[in-house]
Amino acid sequence: MLAVSLLVCATCWSVSSGEGSYMARALRLMSETPLIDGHNDLPWQLRKQFNNQLDKVDLNTLETTHTNIPKIKTGRLGAQFWSAYVPCESQYKDAIRQTLEQIDVIHRVCQKYPNTFMLATSSQDIVEAFSHNKTASLIGVEGGHSIDSSLGTLRTLYHLGVRYMTLTHSCNTPWADNWLVDTGSEPSQHNGLSPFGKRLIVEMNRMGMLIDLSHVTVSVMQQVLDMSKAPVIFSHSSAFTVCPHKRNVPDEILKRVNETGGIVMVNFYNDYVTCSHKATLANVADHFDHIRKVAGAGIIGFGGDYDGVARLPEGLEDVSKVPHLVAELLRRGWSDLEVKATLGNNLLRVLKRAEENAGGSHRACKLAHTAT
């Protein structure tokens, strides 16, 4: 009996020790490479709960969100694309004003908590913030309705620090179809992109603004992949084969993202993870495994969608839990190189490529101007 007890204890210690070693390795890798998350809706929660009045909230003690400063520190969040989201109901009304207010609140959060956040607009800024132990704070606009079909507005948003735009949210714009078209619940208006939509892709490439294909139809995905001169991103989408939800990415698109050097940042929302209301951390890791199998670890990132969803997996309930997912990937046999690519190196590569592509366009424009 004593021998059996000792064997059980030894087994428990071995399992615990093994799990601890994966976590220690995960934390070491996260200290060397910034965890870059593609999508967090904390700015929307600040609007909903506090009407963007930052004097009424303290991010050090806030407990009604998935994200606060202690959770960010525990989760080793190196860089975050904060979502400047406004609802589809604002389209044709005051979408631009509301979007500007969301961009403004992101800037003000960085100003209010300078020891935690650093506003970032480039790949170099991310590296610099990480070296100072701060969370690089980038801005993504979630939904093309935010520009009111105006390239001038798009350019203005870039000047305000926006570095990606999701082409649609859950509504068609006058120039692009959204994912609900693929469910049959909405009619296609453009068979993907309109001529203006294609002009917008060219302009985003020229500026160096990342094109985000989360929320669009497969037709839009294909058209953008055909024409974009820079790699694209999916800021918060998972694998369709694992969970056949139309917000997820089919295998043929995963392969094209690999061919074009882009990135798919895995979403943690239960409905996109298991196509049901319940999910676990292991289910999320299954999406990472599938994408790696189909298209390689070089196209994968993290796109938690924290504070934008109602249900999160057991084990990934808030931003602080992400290191547990990194440890799970290591337990499944991912190499240090693969994990570091997924943590942040893939996104840094994509952003650098977009910057380089824009740099070439700007140089060509400058030379043409000089010639005239």
Active site residues: 39, 41, 142, 169, 215, 236, 305
Q: Which residues make Cβ contacts (< 8 Å) with residue 350, sequence separation at least 6?
A: 210, 231, 233, 261, 262, 263
Give yes or no for a contact between 40 and 82, defined as CB atoms under 8 angstroms apart: yes
11: number of Cβ within 10 Å: 10
Tokens 């969370």 correspond to what residue? 135
| CB-based burial label for 137 (10 Å; 0-12, 13-18, 19+) | buried
Give yes or no for a contact between 78 and 134, defined as CB atoms under 8 angstroms apart: no
Most distant CA pair in the chain, distance: 92
Q: With H, G, I as helix, E, B as strand and everything else as coil, classify residue 119.
A: strand
Take residue 59 and report the two structure tokens written for it.
């991010």
Q: How many H-runs (helices) and E-runs (strands) does the chain carry?
A: 15, 9
Kind plus residue range of the DSSP H or E element containing 136: strand 135-142
Q: Cα(70)–Cα(300) distance, rounded to whole angstroms?
A: 26
- E strands along 260-329, which residues? 263-266, 300-302
Q: Which residues make Cβ contacts (< 8 Å) with residue 69, sequence separation at least 6?
A: 59, 60, 113, 116
Nearest to 112 by CA among 67, 62, 161, 55: 55
How far is CA 168 from its chain centroid?
A: 15
| CB-based burial label for 333 (10 Å; 0-12, 13-18, 19+) | exposed
Take residue 308 and report the two structure tokens written for it.
């934008």
